[in-house]
Amino acid sequence: MLLNLQTIQKYKFKRVVGHVSQTNLFALYWEFEVNVKLEWDSR
């Protein structure tokens, strides 16, 4: 029983970490896009 609980917790943790890293990548990409557009407009 304890082993199953640990496995479930690890799986949930991996899913959360995966979700966070995807969100961070998206945020970084979006920020990059905005910065490029601002740079382009200011020329």
CA angle 22, 41, 30 (to 5 degrees): 5
Closest among 25, 33, 30 to 41, alpha carbons compared: 33
pLDDT along the chain (43 residues), means of 10: 81 84 87 87 82
Distances (CA, A) of 26 to 6, 31, 32, 42: 30, 9, 10, 24
pTM: 0.45
Say what the pLDDT of residue 1 is: 62
